[in-house]
Homo-oligomer: A and B are copies of this chain.
């Protein structure tokens, strides 16, 4: 018997109810039956993303939605500020570059969050900038950016703010409309608790106006076609029907639990995981850690690539290693989506054993005890 635990920052475990809902016979997408699903899902999505703007559902991964947030709002030779503090910030810059958009890069040290004052200065120095791109949670480092403060700064200019909330949504506090976020980009395989295959993009009025002026080429990700279809509870291309059927169930779950409670749940798991990490004698990598995941520095006496490998192959607990130059230097434990306190206890239990087997001195149960605190009735 091998019981696997998925504790990586995406894809995240899918609740059984959702898996079974998606396993129902497929229905046709050009029917009143599916349009009714889309109508309900579109409304619930707005509630869940906390926006009054339409939230488009794309048949793509999150990277496709990131591309959509570039090609629809900019023109050749336009300038955009990109906040780069990890792999996903860099992805925005790569997409801009692929489409001939000039980027003004804010290279944040990996592990740190962006300084809103620097963003302010950059906008003032480059008043021709049309869009500012930021991540909410930078999954590669585990950092959460202060989008509220960045939004305040951007709101004072004519530029729009695009936020990659792919891994941060439902884990970190996020109020796109109140904070001046024009475009929220998301993906299905993180806080949405679905398999990968859906991208999401909300579009503010200001962003829709900008879309009218954009000359970058697009077709599959054309936001104008998608907005027209969206208004009719339809999609321009064949949608990923089964995932959208599952989407309705997870939206119901999230809204029933209450969005504040969902975030609080992530925050609590993140907090005790970090206390466990400290109790084990390790150090958290991110200076402003997101609730979505905890990035942990690998102790110097250990080959860091072995930790996720042994966790997965020997303990059947899938966590993530470091990406790019952080490979072997950090590992990442998620608190994202359908993960609870017992999953976290199991993860820390496995980690204590793996570290010990790698020759690092660990007192068994010391980390677990910290997570166990959450089991006391007053904290549940």
A268, CB-defined interface residue at 8 Å: no
Q: Can you tell how many copies of this chain the complex includes?
A: 2
How long is the Cα–Cα vector from A94 to B217 in the complex, in angstroms? Answer: 11
Instruction: Decide if B219 touches A98 in the complex (CB within 8 Å).
Output: yes
Interface string of A308-324 (1 = CB under 8 A from B): 00001000001010000
Alpha-carbon separation in the docked complex, A346 to B48 (Å):
42
Q: Which of A168-176, A235-243, A298-306 contacts B (4 or more CB under 8 A)?
A: A235-243
For residue A101, give the distance in angstroms from its CB to the closest CB of chain B: 10
User: A220 in the interface, Cβ–Cβ < 8 Å?
Assistant: yes
Q: Which residues of B contact A262 (CB under 8 A)?
A: none
Q: What sequence of 0s and 1s flags, for each residue 211-253 of chain A, a beta carbon within 8 Å of any chain B beta carbon? A: 0000011111110000000000000011111110000000000
A220 touches B26 (CB 8 A): no
Residue of B nearest to A243 (CB): B197
- Complex contact B22–A6 (CB within 8 A): no
A95 partner residues in chain B, CB cutoff 8 A: 219
Q: What is the bound-complex CA distance between A232 and B20, given in angstroms?
A: 32
> Is A100 close to B, CB under 8 A?
yes
Looking at the assembled complex, report how far the CB atom of A262 sits from the nearest CB atom of chain B, in whole angstroms.
Answer: 20
Cross-interface CB contact of A64 among B30, B59, B312, cutoff 8 Å: B59
Instruction: Decide yes or no whether A62 CB sits under 8 A from chain B.
Output: yes
Interface residues of A in 294-350 (CB under 8 A from B): 312, 318, 320
Q: Which residues of B contact A219 (CB under 8 A)?
A: 63, 67, 94-95, 98-99
How far is the CB of A76 from the nearest CB of chain B, in Å? Answer: 9
Pair B27/A238 contact, Cβ less than 8 Å: no
Interface residues of A in 35-66 (CB under 8 A from B): 59-64
A-B contact pairs, 29 of them (CB 8 A): A6-B26, A6-B27, A8-B28, A11-B29, A11-B241, A13-B25, A13-B26, A19-B24, A22-B242, A29-B196, A30-B320, A31-B318, A59-B64, A62-B238, A63-B237, A64-B237, A67-B219, A95-B219, A98-B218, A98-B222, A99-B219, A195-B242, A195-B243, A196-B238, A196-B241, A197-B240, A197-B241, A197-B242, A197-B243
